[in-house]
């Protein structure tokens, strides 16, 4: 069963995660996301990344994370490469946050150029400290880049998890719409961004973000050496 689907309509690639559960970032999920991005880069002009109804992404696969320190470090290292790829994706990347986005899932949210969230009783945020994990550098730097500075400490050190409306205020998302319209709105925004000159868009994004990506990559080995798996 495929975990990621890809549909291209009018030069917009709709990439959807759906593992039938919480959309955990397992090795298989991340491999399929990479493959979808490979295809989108060749065949589309912009990407919409969505989850399943009620669930955007629950973060790194807990079964692997809790199987040992080395297993957790290896999985998050793999995830860091995917997150940095998403953050530097050469085309416009619009996130349709279809539901809960926690831990690593909230980091996927932060990689989007524009983020549209579904209205509802959904949880968004970094809950690492709450479950006994230090917040890694890769998460800290994405949060530092994208969140309102007033909410940086609350969102990282205090593990504050918020609903979509509060997420808009804090900078997790750029817009909140009715759950039924989240995909349509994300696709409309992707089409708008796809109309911008592609080379100028890509180079500007690279200039904007390459310092963060270089720092995260340079710190990755040291960062993972300090990583602890969540408590049971």
The whole-number average pLDDT for the span 189-206 is 98
Q: Which two tokens stand for residue 110?
A: 């932060």
**What integer best gives the mean pLDDT of the chain?**
97
Residue linked to tokens 């180079």: 203
Q: In this model, does residue 138 exceed pLDDT 90?
A: yes
pLDDT band at residue 127 using 50, 70 and 90 as cut-offs? very high
- Cβ proximity of 126 and 204 under 8 Å: no
**In this structure, what are the phi and psi dihedrals at residue 55, rounded to the nearest 5 degrees?**
-135, 115
Cα–Cα dist 213/108, whole Å: 14
Paired residues of 100 in beta bridges: 55
- Cβ proximity of 116 and 191 under 8 Å: no
- Among the four given CATH numbers 3.40.309.10, 3.40.50.620, 3.10.20.310, 3.90.226.10, the one describing domain 4-182: 3.90.226.10
Paired residues of 12 in beta bridges: 9, 46
The whole-number average pLDDT for the span 199-224 is 97
pLDDT confidence of residue 1: 83
Cα–Cα dist 216/6, whole Å: 29
pLDDT confidence of residue 231: 77
pLDDT confidence of residue 229: 84
Q: In this model, does residue 230 exceed pLDDT 90?
A: no
pLDDT confidence of residue 160: 98
Q: In this model, does residue 232 exceed pLDDT 80?
A: no
Residue-wise pLDDT for 36-78, tens only, equals: 999 999 999 999 999 999 999 999 999 999 999 999 999 999 9
Residue linked to tokens 């798996």: 229
Q: In this model, does residue 164 exceed pLDDT 70?
A: yes
């Amino acid at each position: 069963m495929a975990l990621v689907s890809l549909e291209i309509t009018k030069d917009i690639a709709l990439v959807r995660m759906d593992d039938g559960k919480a959309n955990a970032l397992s090795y298989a999920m991340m491999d399929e996301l990479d493959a979808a991005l490979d295809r989108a880069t060749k065949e589309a002009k912009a990407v919409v990344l969505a989850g399943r109804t009620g669930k955007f992404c629950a973060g790194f696969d807990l079964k692997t994370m809790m199987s040992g320190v080395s297993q957790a470090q290896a999985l998050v290292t793999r995830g860091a490469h995917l997150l940095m790829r998403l953050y530097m994706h050469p085309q416009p990347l619009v996130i349709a946050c279809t539901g809960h986005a926690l831990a690593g899932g909230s980091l996927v949210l932060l990689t989007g150029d524009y983020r549209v969230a579904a209205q509802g009783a959904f949880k968004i945020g970094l809950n690492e400290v709450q479950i006994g994990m230090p917040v890694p550098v890769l998460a800290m730097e994405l949060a530092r880049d994208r969140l309102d500075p007033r909410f940086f400490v609350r969102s990282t050190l205090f593990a504050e998890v918020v609903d979509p409306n509060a997420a808009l205020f804090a900078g997790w998302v750029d817009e909140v719409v009715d759950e039924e319209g989240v995909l349509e709105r994300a696709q409309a925004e992707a089409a708008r961004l796809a109309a911008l000159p592609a080379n100028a868009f890509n180079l500007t994004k690279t200039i904007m973000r390459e310092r963060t990506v270089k720092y995260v990559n340079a710190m990755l080995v040291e960062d993972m050496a300090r990583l602890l798996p969540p408590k049971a």
